[in-house]
């Protein structure tokens, strides 16, 4: 089992194409994670703004 794991881990070192593909995919994953974080923050901001608008509209509808 250990030989299989070591062979698997070192396979990128023997094939430069696999190593470059692995690096490219890692970079793409990092880009997508950053995009998810940015979109999540933007969504939270929009939800908060919408909640404020709803609250203001509800207060206008309240009888004095």
Per-residue pLDDT tens over the stretch 28-49: 999 999 999 999 999 999 999 9
Whole-model pTM?
0.62
Coil vs helix vs strand at 63: coil
Per the structure, the complete domain to which residue 21 belongs is given by 2-61
Residue 11, pLDDT > 60, answer no
User: How far, in Å, CA of 14 to CA of 6, rounded?
Assistant: 12
pLDDT at 61 over 90: no
- Number of domains composing the chain: 1
Mean pLDDT for the stretch of residues 19-28 = 93
Cα separation, 38 vs 32, whole angstroms: 10
Query: Coil, strand, or helix at residue 54?
Result: helix
Lowest mean pLDDT segment, chosen from 14-18, 42-46, 54-58: 14-18
Higher-confidence position of 60 and 43: 43
Q: How far apart are the first and last CA of the chain?
A: 77
């Amino acid at each position: 089992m250990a030989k299989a794991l070591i062979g698997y881990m070192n396979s990128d070192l023997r094939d430069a194409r696999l190593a470059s593909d692995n690096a490219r995919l890692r970079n793409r994953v990092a880009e997508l994670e950053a995009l998810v974080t940015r979109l999540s923050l933007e969504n939270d901001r929009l939800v908060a703004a919408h909640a404020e608008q709803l609250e203001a509209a509800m207060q206008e509808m309240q009888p004095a």
